[in-house]
Amino acid sequence: MACYYRGFEIVWLKSDVGRRHDIFVTGEKTQLKIPSRIDMIDRAASLANEIATRCGFDAESIFGIELAVREAVSNAVVHGNREDESKIVEVAFTDAVNALTITVRDFGAGFDPESVPDPTREENLLKPSGRGMFFMRTFMDEVIWQHHPEGGTIVRMTKRRS
């Protein structure tokens, strides 16, 4: 089942439990597909906030999850798909018993995460970029970047319930 809301697609992969303001239906897994536009990043981040809230995370964790998703989707839109609107970004939220797992996939050329310098080193402090991945690693319990076998990069982020 799929539905289109304000320019992006939300797909319900499992149970459709309830409907609220035409935006979101709870389920164990939610996937959304957005075009590679800067203004879509807010939508993905807002949805992350809603899902993290529904999953019962505390305010600190919700802030971190929203920021991590914002950074991952920003990277996918800007660096992965290079704002090519013909390429989508896929975001999936899987709510399991012990953790919330979020994947963000782009269809770009891929990159080596180890090549991104540590922004907290003295020589990098005044660089304007390079902090997005640092925030993802800081606020999530596990972050893994992989080349997708069918192209693009997929980042998998996990936040465990405390």
Partner 1 sequence: MAELTIKERQAGDVTILDLTGKITIGEGSVALRSAIRRLLAEGKKKILLNLGGVSYVDSSGIGELVSSYTAVNKENGQLKLLNLTQKIQDLLAITKLLTVFDVYDDEAAALESFS
DSSP 8-class letter at 80: I
Minimum Å gap between C-beta 29 and partner 1 is 26
Distance CA 157, CA 152 (A): 17
Pick one of 19, 28, 129, 144: the residue that binds partner 1 (CB under 8 A): 129
Please list every residue from 58 through 117 that binds partner 1, using CB under 8 A: 63, 67, 70-71, 74, 78
Q: Can you say whether residue 62 is alpha, beta or left, with left for phi > 0 and alpha for psi between -120 and 50 degrees? A: alpha
In 3D space, the residue among 17, 42, 39 whose CA is nearest the CA of residue 27 turns out to be 17
Residue 97 or 126: the one with the smaller Cβ distance to partner 1 is 126
Minimum Å gap between C-beta 71 and partner 1 is 6
Q: Applying CB under 8 A, does 18 fall inside the site for partner 1?
A: no
Q: Applying CB under 8 A, does 15 fall inside the site for partner 1?
A: no
Pick one of 27, 35, 132, 152: the residue that binds partner 1 (CB under 8 A): 132
Q: Applying CB under 8 A, does 123 fall inside the site for partner 1?
A: no
Residues 6 or more apart from 63 whose CB is under 8 A from it? 139
Q: Applying CB under 8 A, does 149 fall inside the site for partner 1?
A: no
Strands 8-12, 2-5: pairing is antiparallel
Distance CA 153, CA 139 (A): 20
CB atoms within 10 A of CB 76: 28
Residues lying near partner 1 in the complex (CB under 8 A) are found at 38-39, 41-42, 63, 67, 70-71, 74, 78, 119-120, 125-129, 131-132, 134-135, 138
